[in-house]
Amino acid sequence: MGGREVTGRLLAQRKQSLQFTFHPGPSLSNMAVCYACLTLLALGSARVGSADSMADRLPLEPYDRLFSMAVDAYYRDDWQGVILNMERALQNRAALRRAKIHCRAECSHKMKFSIANSSHDLFMDMNYFHTVLRKADCLKVCEGERLGPHSLHHISEEVQLEFHKRTPYNYLQVAYFKIKMLDKAVAAAHTFFMVNPDHLEMRQNLEYYKMMAGVKDADFKDLEAKAHMEAFRQGVRLYTDEQFKHSIRFLENALEEYFKANAECRALCEGPYNFDGYNYMEYNADLYQAITDHYIQVLGCKQNCVTELAIRPDREAPIEDFLPTHLDYLQFAYYNSENYSQAIECTKTYLLFYPNDEVMNQNLQYYQAVLGDELSRHLTHREDIQTYIANSLLEKELLYFANEIFGVTFIDPDKWTPESVIPVKLKAKQKAERETAARISEEIGNLMKEIENLVDEKTKESSEIVKMVKEGGPLLFDSVQVVMNARLLNGTQRVLLDGVITDEECQEMRYLSNAAASLGDGYYGRPSPHTPNERFQGVTVLKALKLSQKGTIPLKTSRLFYDVSEKVRRIIESYFRMETPLHFAYSHLVCRTAVEGMQDKREDLSHSVHVDNCILNSEALECPKQHPAYTERDYSAILYLNHDFEGGNFIFTEIDAKVITAMVNPKCGRVVAFSSGAENPHGVQAVTKGQRCGVALWFTLDPTQKERERIEADDLVNMLFGMEEELQPDEGDVKEPVPTDHRSNDVPTDHRPSDVPTDHRPSDVPTDHRPSDVPTDHRPSDVPTDHRSSERPAPEPIHKPQDGAEPAGDAAEQETEVKGSMTEGSKVPEHMIKTMEPAPTVPDTKSTAALNIPSTKQEL
C-alpha cells in the first residue's frame, strides 16, 4: 500500500449497514480478519468537513522551520521576529492539520468501495484494490496541492512534543510583553499555563500580570481551547446555577462540537504505520498481516479519541463517561424546562449506553407518565448516537479479537461496553487479576496495620512527652490567662483559658446567636439533632456576614464573630507552639436550649462522648482514624458566651467514655482547647434549664483542607470592610516575565519576577475536577449511583439544602460538617476575585406513593 493508509471514518447518517454483529471464531484466518477490517473501513468512509479555502496553492512552509527561526530570533532579542515566526508556526501547524482532515474526508467521500457479493472473492476483486489505489492517488494530489511535497512536513518527535506542551506560547508571552502588548502576552501566558499548571515561573508571571494596570479578566483566555469542552463546561455552570434553559443551548452545542471533533480525531488516526516495538528494517510481515497490523493500530487510535476528547488541558485524567454525561445533564435540564419530549429522547439515548440504569429508567417512566402514552409512544432515541454506539462496538469486537489472537494490547476507554463484547477468556483473566490484586492489597493492608500498631505503641509515650513540652507558648493578649493546663486537666494537649473576650462582646455574640441563627442549622433543619430534650440553633461566619450585607444584622456584629474566631485561632496556634499555621476547618456559633417539661429524670447527655477526628469505639477501647470521621481536624476549641443556665458542663473522659478525667464549667470569655485525636474523648452534660451558647471551632494543619466557607468569608470581609488595600505596581518597576529554559541552558533567568505570589491557577478552572464523594463509575456526577430519587407527587425541581446544611459531626459543640475544602493559595487582589462554580446540589429524600421525580446531579 506504499506506506499510505486507507482513510475514512464511519458515516454519521449510516443506520442499517451497522445492524449486524461480528462474531469471530478461533479458526478465523488472517485473510478473514483483513476482510473484516477492510469491510469496516469501506463502510466507515465519510465526509469529515472542509478545510478553510486557500488564496493560493503555494507549498505550506513547515512549522518546525518557523519554530526554529522564532527561537533564533528570541536569542537575538528580535521580538518582532519571534512573534512573526512563532505565530506563523502555530498557524501552519493548524493549516497542516486541517488539510490532512479535509483531504482524507474528501477522498473517502469520492472514492467509495464496491463490496463483492461473494466474500471469498473479495480480495480477488481487482475493482476493490482499484478503489484503494484511486483513493491513494486522490490523497497524494489533494495534499500535494495544499501542502507541497510530502517530505516537507516530516516533523521530528521533539518538535511535536514542544507544540504539545504549548512551548511556543511561552516565547510569545515574553515577546509580546517586551513590545508592551499586554493583552496578547497575558493570553499567551494563560494558554501555556493551562497545560503546565506546575510551572512556577509562569504562575508568578500570571499573578504579576493580574496586578498590572490595563489587564482585564477577558485577557486570561485559552487560545487552544477545545470548542466542545468549553461549551460543555459553560453548560454545566449554567445547569448548576439552575439556569436550565440557557444550559440546554450550550450542552446541545457541546454535543454537536463533540462529534465534529471526534470525526477530525478519527481522520487524523489514518496516518503512517507506527513501527513501535519493531525494527523498521526487520519488519517483514506479509500482505494480510501488514494490513491487519496497520488497521488494528488505526482502530486503537480511533477508540482512543474517546479519551482525548474528554481530557481538559489542566487535568491528567479524562472525564469518564463524557458522552453519556451530556445526555444526563440534558434530560434533567429539559425536564426543568418542562420540555418532556426532549427529556424522553435524551433519557432513551442515555439508556443506549446503560440500559439497566435504575435512576434513568425511573426518570423515563416519570416523563412518559407526565406527557401521556399517546404523545410519548412515538418518541425514540437519537439516531446519530445509536450509529456511533453500533460502530464503536464493531471496532471493539475487532480489537478484542486482535487482543485474544495476536496479543495486540487494547484498553477499552468506555465503561458502558457490554460484557458480551469482551471475550470469555479475557473476562476470566481480568477476574483472576482482580482477585489476585484484592488479595495482595488485603495482605499488604494487614501488614501495614501491624506495623502501624507497633510504631504507635513505641512512640506513644515519647509523643506525649513532646506534646507536654510544646505546650505553654505565649498567649498574645494581656487579658488572656491560663486557668488549667494539660497536667491539671489530667491529659495531654489540653488547656483552659479565661478572658478571651469581654462581657460586652459576649452579649453582642448572644444577640447574634438569636438574631441570625436558625433551628437545626447544619442538620437539615432538625431542631433536636442530639437529644429530644434540647433545641439546637446555629449560624456560620459566612452566613452572618451575608446577613449583614443584606442589612439584616449590624455589620459590626458579624465582624465581631469573624474577629473573635480569628483571635482564638491565633491564641491556640501560639500556646501549642505550632510549627505550621493552623487553618479553620469549621466554625459555628451555636446555642442549646433546654425544652421545658422534658427535664425530669434526664439521663442522657447534651452531646455524647466522642472524638473529633476518629470513630470512638468505647467498648473496644479504640478510635480508628477513618471515614466518615473528620480526619483532617487537628485541634478543637469552644469559646463560651454565658453561664446563666443549668447543666451543660464540658467533660473529658477516658477512652472508655465512662471515666470523667476533667470537667469545665462554661462562662463568658472562657475557652477550652485541645487536640482533636483519641487522647481527648469529650462530651457535654445535659442542659436542664436555660440556654447555653458558644462558638465551636475546629482547626487543621493541612492547608488543602482549609474551610471553603472561611475563604469566602475572608473575601467578603475584604469587600465589606476594606481590610486590604490593593497595590497597583508602578509600571516603571515592572519585572519582565520570561519562559523557563526548556530548550537549552542559555535562556535568561535574571528577569523572573520573585516578589509575586507563587500559587495561581486561573480562577475559572476549579482545582478539583469532581467532588471527593463522586462514585467511581463516574456516572454524571449530578446523578450519583448511590442516591436514587425517592417517589414524589409532583414534578418539582429538587431543592438545595440551606447554606451550611450538612450531616452532623463528631465533636462536642458539633454543629455541622465542613461544606467543602479548597487548596489554600496566595492572596489575589479583591477586584480580581472570581466566583467559584456552584457547590453540588443534593436531593431531599422525602417519599410518597407517586412516580419518581427525576434525580438531580452534583456538578462535575
Helix (H) and strand (E) counts in the chain: 21, 14
| H-assigned helices in 586-726 | 708-721
* DSSP letters spanning 716-772: HHHHHH--S---PPPGGGPPPP----SS-TTS--TT---SS-S----TTS-S-SS-T
Backbone angles phi, psi at 693, to 5 degrees: -125, 150
**CA proximity to 334, closest of 344, 348, 321:** 344
- Any idea which residue has 490484586 for its cell? 437
- Any idea which residue has 506506506 for its cell? 3
Q: Can you tell me whether residue 689 is helix, strand or coil?
A: strand
Q: Residue 404 and residue 396: Cα distance in Å, rounded?
A: 12
Cα dihedral: 820, 824, 829, 833 (round 10)? -30
SS3 content of the chain, % helix, strand, coil (to 5): 45, 10, 45
**CA proximity to 816, closest of 630, 652, 661, 551:** 630
Are 688 and 646 a contacting pair, CB within 8 Å? yes
- Any idea which residue has 477530525 for its cell? 264
Q: Residue 816: how many CA atoms within 13 Å on its side-chain side?
A: 32
Q: What pairing do the DSSP bridges indicate for beta strands 671-675 and 494-498?
A: antiparallel
User: Which residues share a beta bridge with 673?
Assistant: 495, 637
**CA proximity to 333, closest of 804, 856, 858:** 856
Q: Residue 512 and residue 519: Cα distance in Å, rounded?
A: 14
Are 200 and 758 a contacting pair, CB within 8 Å? yes
Distance of CA 171 to the CA centre of its chain: 30
Q: Residue 334 and residue 337: Cα distance in Å, rounded?
A: 5
Q: Residue 621 and residue 733: Cα distance in Å, rounded?
A: 63
User: Which residues share a beta bridge with 639?
Assistant: 671, 695
Are 308 and 265 a contacting pair, CB within 8 Å? yes
Which residue is catalytic, options 146, 535, 692, 770? 692
- Any idea which residue has 494543619 for its cell? 701
Q: Is 692 annotated as catalytic?
A: yes
Q: Residue 695 and residue 432: Cα distance in Å, rounded?
A: 54
Q: Residue 428: how many CA atoms within 13 Å on its side-chain side?
A: 4
Radius of gyration of the chain (CA): 33
Q: Which residues contact 360 (CB under 8 A, 6 or more apart)?
A: 328, 331, 347, 350, 351, 354, 783
User: Which residues share a beta bridge with 519?
Assistant: 537
Q: Residue 753 and residue 340: Cα distance in Å, rounded?
A: 56
**CA proximity to 256, closest of 286, 235, 282, 240:** 235
Distance of CA 305 to the CA centre of its chain: 21
Which one-letter amino acid corresponds to residue 266? R
Cα dihedral: 703, 708, 710, 713 (round 10)? 140
Which one-letter amino acid corresponds to residue 197? P
Q: What pairing do the DSSP bridges indicate for beta strands 494-498 and 481-484?
A: antiparallel
**CA proximity to 576, closest of 670, 468, 651, 482:** 468
Which residues are marked as active site?
692
